[in-house]
């Protein structure tokens, strides 16, 4: 059964200390807090976690710590994507050994790989790790690194069971849906309702960290057919995200989570720190929409 990963998965952020090391104490407390919500899983070591700014051993340590402190029976997906296939395989094997339910990987960026090279990247990983794989399709430019034919070939593999579709191209999402009974996660939070409408079976999101209940309620409203409620929640989410974009999304999210009592620290460099004006804007947002 390929379509077995559905619902709300928080793209877990990483708390850092002043030396940019993982703050284990805060991570433990934060995970315990999030487990109080009716979520289906964590997506660990992705963009929100700032994992691509970490060394491989740091990423493996993050996998270990999240597994250690996730005491509730939810699914864990480890993002192991790397410019190096060898590194991705190594991290994938480690995540599987820890007991993660699935691995995920973004297409290696920078070099502009051919479709055959993209296929080889994923097939090499799943051939070595032999574990469920969630493709990470991230196309901030709007141009997906995948063709539909490439998707078709990927999903013919027994281990490739789903996709995190972080793209504004929802027509492509619908086309992917037609390829088979696979798990499709909406990736852009501001398009959650639209993604569900076009065939997504759940969502993996960054802003779920600051407002998990809103996404749980949106998902529930959509599945129960209450589109008016779902649209109202999505409108509120979009209003909040607009402010986050104005101030810087990841630094803003960390600041807002810190206001809930979890000192997430600053984002890794080269991310800039929030200005005093940014913090005033976010304080107002927190009081009006998130407290």
pLDDT, one tens digit per residue, over 19-71 is: 999 999 999 999 999 999 999 999 999 999 999 999 999 999 999 999 999 99
Q: What is the DSSP track for 58-107? A: HHHHHHHHHHHH--SS-EEEEE---S-HHHHHHHHHHHHHHT-SEEEEEP
Over residues 201-225, the mean pLDDT reads: 99
- The catalytic position among 60, 164, 214, 254 is 164
- Residue whose C-alpha is closest to residue 19's, from 243, 216, 268: 268
Band (139; pLDDT cuts 50, 70, 90): confident
pLDDT at site 141: 52
Whether 19 is a known active-site residue: answer no
To the question of pTM greater than 0.75 for the whole model, the response is yes
Return all residues near 173 (Cβ < 8 A) that are at least 6 apart: 165, 167, 184, 186, 195, 198, 199, 200
Band (248; pLDDT cuts 50, 70, 90): very high
pLDDT at site 120: 98
Query: Residue 15 pLDDT > 80, yes or no?
Result: yes
Domains of the chain, start order:
7-226 (3.20.20.70)
Give the mean pLDDT of the chain: 96
Whether 136 is a known active-site residue: answer yes
pLDDT at site 140: 64
Q: Give the residues across from 183 on adjacent strands.
A: 162
- The catalytic position among 43, 136, 208, 255 is 136
User: How far is residue 121's CA from residue 115's CA, in Å, rounded to a whole number?
Assistant: 10
**In 10 A of CB 228, how many CB atoms?**
9
Do 80 and 88 touch, CB atoms closer than 8 A? yes
């Amino acid at each position: 059964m390929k379509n077995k990963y559905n619902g709300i998965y928080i793209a877990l952020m990483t708390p850092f200390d002043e030396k940019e090391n993982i703050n284990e104490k805060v991570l433990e407390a934060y995970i315990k807090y999030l487990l109080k919500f009716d979520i289906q899983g964590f997506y660990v070591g992705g963009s929100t976690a700032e994992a691509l700014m970490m060394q491989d051993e740091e990423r493996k340590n993050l996998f270990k710590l999240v597994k250690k402190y996730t005491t509730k029976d939810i699914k864990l997906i480890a993002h192991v994507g790397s410019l190096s296939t060898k590194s991705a395989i190594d991290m994938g094997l480690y995540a599987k050994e820890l007991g993660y339910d699935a691995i995920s990987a973004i297409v290696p960026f920078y070099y502009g790989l051919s479709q055959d090279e993209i296929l080889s990247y994923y097939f090499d990983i799943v051939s070595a790790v032999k574990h469920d794989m969630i493709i990470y399709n991230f196309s901030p430019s709007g141009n997906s690194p995948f063709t539909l034919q490439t998707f078709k070939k990927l999903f013919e593999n027994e281990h490739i069971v789903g996709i995190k579709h972080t793209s504004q191209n929802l027509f492509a999402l619908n086309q992917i849906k037609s390829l088979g009974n696979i798990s499709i996660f909406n990736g852009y939070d501001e398009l959650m309702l639209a993604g569900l409408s076009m065939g997504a079976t759940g969502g993996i999101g960054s802003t779920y960290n600051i407002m998990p209940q809103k996404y749980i309620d949106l998902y529930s409203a959509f599945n129960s057919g209450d589109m008016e409620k779902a649209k109202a929640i999505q409108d509120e989410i979009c209003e909040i995200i607009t402010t986050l974009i104005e101030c810087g999304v990841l630094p803003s999210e960390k600041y807002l989570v810190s206001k809930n009592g979890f000192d997430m620290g600053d984002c890794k460099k080269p991310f800039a720190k929030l200005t005093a004006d940014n913090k005033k804007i976010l304080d107002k947002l927190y009081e009006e929409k998130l407290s």
